[in-house]
Amino acid sequence: MLEVEAPQNYYSWIYHFVLGWYGNHPIYPNFPIELGRAYEMVGVTDDTVIFTGANEPDSVIALNENTGATSDRNWISICYNAIYDSVMDVTDELSPGGQPVSKITLLDEATQIYYSWIYHFVLGWYGNHPTTPNFPIEPGDGYEFIATKDTTWNPTEHSNEAVAPVAMLTSRSHQRKDVEFQRGASLEPERTPAWTVAKSREKIDYSQAHAYRPARRDVKKTDYREAGISHVVHVALELEEFDGLVFTAYRPLRPFDVLTENSVGCVTARCGSFYLLSFDVGNFKKPWQDGEEVVLIIEANKRGTNYFTVINFRLDKGVDIQEVMDDVTLVQIPEPTKTKSLTYWSDVENDNVVGYSLYQGDRRLNDKVIDREEYVTLTEVNLKPVIRGGYETVYGSLGPQSTTPADFPIAYSFAIHPNPFTKKTGINYALPHAVEVSIKIYDVSGRQVKNLVSERCEPGYYQTHWFGDDDIGRKVSAGVYFIEMNTKEFESQRKVIFVH
Q: Is the pLDDT of residue 168 over 80?
A: no
258 membership: H or E segment, kind and range: strand 254-260
Is-contact 320 66, C-beta < 8 A?
yes
The distance from CA 462 to its chain's CA centroid, rounded to whole angstroms, is 26
Mean pLDDT of 52-74: 63
Q: Is the pLDDT of residue 218 over 90?
A: no
pLDDT of residue 249: 97
Residue type (1 letter), 73: R
Tally of CB atoms within 10 A around 400: 23
Q: Is the pLDDT of residue 57 over 50?
A: no
Last residue within a domain, chosen from 379, 407, 435: 407
pLDDT of residue 80: 60
Q: Is the pLDDT of residue 5 over 90?
A: no
Examine the domain organization and report whether 381 and 283 are in the same domain.
yes
Higher pLDDT, 396 or 411: 396
Examine the domain organization and report whether 335 and 205 are in the same domain.
yes
Q: What is the mean pLDDT of the chain?
A: 83
Q: Facing residues of 428 across strands?
A: 415, 463
CA distance 75 to 214: 44
pLDDT of residue 76: 84
Range of the domain at 425: 413-498
Last residue within a domain, chosen from 407, 432, 457: 407
Mean pLDDT of 196-201: 73
Residue type (1 letter), 112: Q
Is-contact 192 219, C-beta < 8 A?
yes
DSSP state of 413: E
Examine the domain organization and report whether 184 and 149 are in the same domain.
no
Q: Is the pLDDT of residue 32 over 80?
A: yes
Half-sphere exposure for 64 (CA within 13 Å, toward CB): 10
Examine the domain organization and report whether 386 and 471 are in the same domain.
no
Residue type (1 letter), 275: Y
Total structural domains within the chain: 3
Examine the domain organization and report whether 372 and 246 are in the same domain.
yes
Mean pLDDT of 87-109: 91
pLDDT of residue 152: 86
Q: Is the pLDDT of residue 197 over 80?
A: yes
Q: Is the pLDDT of residue 149 over 60?
A: yes
Examine the domain organization and report whether 250 and 211 are in the same domain.
yes
Report the alpha-carbon angle 481-483-488, nearest 5.
Answer: 150
Q: What is the CA radius of gyration of the chain?
A: 27
The distance from CA 101 to its chain's CA centroid, rounded to whole angstroms, is 19
Q: How far are the Cα atoms of 188, 300, 388 from residue 307, in angstroms, in the given order? A: 26, 5, 18
Number of H helices, E strands in the chain: 1, 36
Examine the domain organization and report whether 420 and 395 are in the same domain.
no
Stretch among 218-222, 253-257, 314-318 having the lowest mean pLDDT: 218-222
CA distance 452 to 439: 5
Q: Is the pLDDT of residue 284 over 60?
A: yes
pLDDT of residue 144: 92
Examine the domain organization and report whether 396 and 466 are in the same domain.
no
Higher pLDDT, 385 or 461: 385
pLDDT of residue 27: 84
Last residue within a domain, chosen from 390, 407, 424: 407
Q: Closest Cα to residue 368, out of 378, 358, 353, 382?
A: 358
Give the CATH number, domain containing residue 430. Answer: 2.60.40.4070
**Does 165 fall in a domain?**
no
Mean pLDDT of 260-289: 92
Mean pLDDT of 140-155: 87
**Does 4 fall in a domain?**
no
Q: What stretches of 345-400 adopt beta strand conformation (E)?
A: 353-360, 363-364, 374-376, 382-387
Q: pLDDT-based confidence at 174, cuts 50/70/90?
A: very low
Stretch among 128-137, 168-177, 332-341 having the lowest mean pLDDT: 168-177
Stretch among 69-78, 134-143, 148-157, 443-452 having the lowest mean pLDDT: 69-78
Q: Is the pLDDT of residue 391 over 80?
A: yes
91 membership: H or E segment, kind and range: helix 87-94
- What are the tens digits of pLDDT across the range 339-388? 888 899 999 999 999 999 999 888 899 999 999 999 998 788 999 999 99
Q: Coil, strand or helix: which one is 88?
A: helix
Examine the domain organization and report whether 264 and 287 are in the same domain.
yes
Examine the domain organization and report whether 360 and 453 are in the same domain.
no
**Does 78 fall in a domain?**
yes
Mean pLDDT of 6-29: 82
Is-contact 171 259, C-beta < 8 A?
no
**Does 170 fall in a domain?**
no
**Does 314 fall in a domain?**
yes
